Amino acid sequence: MYQKILVPVDGSSTSNLGLDEAIRLAQLTKGRLRLIHVIDELSFALAMDAYSGHAGDWLGVLRKEGARVLEEARERATTAGVDVETALRDNFSNSVHELVTAEAAQWPADLIVLGTHGRRGVGRLVLGSSAEHILRYAPVPVLLVRAPEAKSRAKAVAESIRVSLPSAALGLE
């Protein structure tokens, strides 16, 4: 059961929740992890924008940052006594979800574990959902670990949409 667990990581708190759950599963099953970090067109474009005033190797900067993210995640798993390997991918002809699902098939993984923001509605439409695409196209089971703040954020948005009118506007004076 779940001896080879693939974990996409990006260093975010949501990603770390997925990593922590994958570590717990690997400890229970005596399995091992493969951590993958993907450099995609969006991260490349954001790096170009962030460093637009500087000439330089943007892809090199992203690779260095990706290696740092992978090393920190590897240390977490190793400290927990879990066997782990890492993979840094940067292929601009494929999307993140395509690279993750291809990695799952090629390795081959028994399970993919990833954190998700749990966005719904307009937030999901605007930002897209790599987690949803991975879930749809993965060749193996997928465990989505939802960020706890997603519930409170959804509640806050719902409350901010409520409209309060002064009683005079309703003719209730």
Per-residue pLDDT of the chain (173 residues; tens, 9 = 90+): 899 999 999 998 999 999 999 999 999 999 999 999 998 765 556 555 555 555 567 778 888 999 999 999 999 999 999 999 999 998 777 888 999 999 999 999 999 999 987 655 444 433 347 888 899 999 999 999 988 764 555 554 444 444 444 444 445 44
Classify 31 in phi/psi space as left (phi over 0), alpha (psi -120 to 50) or beta.
Answer: beta
pLDDT attached to residue 45:
60
Structure tokens at 125: 């439409």
Strands 142-146 and 32-39: unpaired
Laid out side by side, the sheet with 111-116 consists of 83-90, 32-39, 4-8, 111-116, 142-146
The structure's pTM equals 0.77
Structure tokens at 122: 């307009």
Strands 83-90 and 111-116: unpaired
pLDDT attached to residue 9:
95
Supply the DSSP symbol for 94. Answer: S
- End-to-end Cα spacing for the chain: 67
